């Protein structure tokens, strides 16, 4: 499958840490839950990078491997207070995305390794920063993607590698579908991870929720991203994760909620306009109508969609149905 993933190689490095006499391929395969063939391939990569070296033979004349001096060498890091704050905030942002997955342990291990490399006074400062910035949970998907799915999808997006995937659509009533995907970018949204990918013979990417993948299998086939495709622009143009046509939206908010609405950037294209009576008008250009609609309705009587006219009629019908339900 080509170059191995950094996650699997990290497992091997962890297994070799503090092993003076090293480990054999068979021992590493058992410790890391990998095949011997995979271990041998990963060891070659690590050796090429100068991180491991032969450590002699065991009593059964099997080759042992150990970390090189370079691989064992601790890195001393000096942080400013601002950098420590940024480091901690980055960990907080990532923690909910990997919660209840195998990558949760990897993130904790990363934090420990970084902080253990700090000089004593910075290590104490890091602990103080951690106490002052506790991790706060927020609404997230109850079902979490498997760590292997995250690894394989991310690696395929980086290497432009086609995936064979089995996926459970949200409205599929539990049934699964097979897709041949060209993954272009992996991104977080509201406590979940998504991949923008081109399915089958289609030419336009759509978003797939990683936790809905039943399985993904990397193939030997590679692909070229669409000419001019900009992953950042693709992600930014949507109001959320739903795609669709880009629409010009105008929403009027009452003076009661105007200060709260004004304080937040809801979309990069938004502009806010003051009205004489204290109300405000928010204008934006975005795709993802289902999430735009939910945002407007979340403000109840304090929000009024002005444009597009067709969407205004849609909301009027939805509100009428809601009133009928509450009779």
Give yes or no: residues 158 and 205 share one domain. Answer: yes
In a domain? residue 137: no
Count: domains in the chain: 4
Per-residue model confidence (pLDDT) at position 2: 45
In a domain? residue 220: yes
In a domain? residue 159: yes
Domain limits for position 59: 6-72
In a domain? residue 303: yes
In a domain? residue 142: no
pTM for the model:
0.65
Residue pLDDT, tens place only, 257-316? 999 999 999 999 999 999 999 999 999 999 999 999 999 999 999 999 999 999 999 999
CA distance 64 to 19: 10
Residue pLDDT, tens place only, 177-200? 999 999 999 888 877 889 999 998
Least Cα distance to 246 among 193, 204, 198, 298 occurs for 204
Does residue 3 have a pLDDT over 50?
no
Give yes or no: residues 225 and 251 share one domain. Answer: no
Q: In the numeric block, which tokens belong to residue 126?
A: 């890091």
Give yes or no: residues 226 and 151 share one domain. Answer: yes
Query: Running DSSP on this structure, what letter comes out for residue 25?
Result: H
- Could you tell me how far CA 322 lies from the centroid of its own chain? 35
In a domain? residue 235: no
Domain ends where: 72, 102, 119?
72
In a domain? residue 237: no
Helix (H, G, I), strand (E, B) or coil at 124: helix
* CATH code, 189: 2.30.30
Give yes or no: residues 90 and 117 share one domain. Answer: yes
Give yes or no: residues 252 and 304 share one domain. Answer: yes
* CATH code, 28: 1.10.10.10
* CATH code, 257: 3.30.70
User: Contacts from 320-325 at CB under 8 Å and sequence distance 24+?
Assistant: none
Confidence of residue 1 (pLDDT cuts 50, 70, 90): very low
Confidence of residue 100 (pLDDT cuts 50, 70, 90): low
CA distance 183 to 98: 20
Residues 6+ apart with CB under 8 A from 2: 159
**Dihedral of the alpha carbons of 18, 123, 191, 284, in degrees to the nearest 10:** -130
**Inter-axis angle of helices 81-98 and 120-132, to 10 degrees?**
50
Mean pLDDT of the chain: 85
Give yes or no: residues 257 and 320 share one domain. Answer: yes
In a domain? residue 140: no
Does residue 228 have a pLDDT over 80?
yes
Per-residue model confidence (pLDDT) at position 91: 78
Q: In the numeric block, which tokens belong to residue 250?
A: 């105008």
Dihedrals phi, psi of 42, to nearest 5 degrees: -65, -35
CA distance 109 to 311: 48
CA distance 100 to 111: 17
């Amino acid at each position: 499958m080509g170059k191995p993933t950094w996650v699997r190689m990290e497992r091997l490095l962890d297994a070799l840490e503090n092993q003076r006499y090293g480990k054999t391929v068979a021992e590493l395969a058992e410790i890391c839950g990998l095949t011997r063939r995979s271990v041998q391939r990963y060891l070659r990569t690590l050796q090429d990078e100068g991180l491991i070296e032969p450590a002699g033979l065991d009593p059964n004349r099997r080759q042992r491997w150990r970390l090189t001096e370079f691989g064992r060498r601790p890195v001393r890091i000096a942080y400013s207070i601002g950098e420590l704050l940024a480091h901690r905030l980055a960990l907080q942002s990532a923690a909910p995305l990997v919660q209840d997955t195998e990558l949760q342990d990897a993130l904790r291990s990363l934090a420990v390794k970084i902080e253990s490399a700090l000089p004593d006074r910075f290590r104490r400062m890091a602990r103080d920063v951690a106490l002052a910035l506790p991790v706060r949970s927020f609404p997230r998907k109850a079902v979490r993607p498997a760590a292997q799915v995250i690894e394989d999808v991310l690696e395929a997006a980086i290497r432009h590698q086609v995936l064979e995937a089995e996926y459970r659509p949200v409205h599929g009533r539990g049934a699964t579908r097979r897709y041949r995907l060209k993954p272009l970018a992996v991104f977080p949204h509201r406590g979940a991870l998504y991949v923008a990918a081109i399915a089958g013979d289609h030419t336009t990417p759509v978003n797939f929720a990683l936790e809905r993948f039943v399985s993904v299998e990397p193939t030997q086939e590679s692909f070229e991203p669409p000419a001019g495709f900009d992953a950042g622009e693709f992600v930014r143009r949507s109001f959320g994760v739903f795609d669709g046509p880009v629409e010009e939206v105008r929403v009027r908010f009452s003076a009661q909620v105007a200060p709260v609405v004004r304080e937040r950037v809801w979309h990069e294209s938004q502009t806010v306009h003051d009205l004489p009576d204290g109300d405000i008008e928010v204008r934006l250009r975005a795709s993802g109508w289902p999430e735009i609609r939910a945002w407007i309705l979340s403000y109840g009587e304090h929000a009024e969609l002005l444009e597009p006219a067709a969407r205004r009629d849609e909301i009027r019908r939805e509100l009428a149905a809601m009133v009928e339900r509450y009779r």
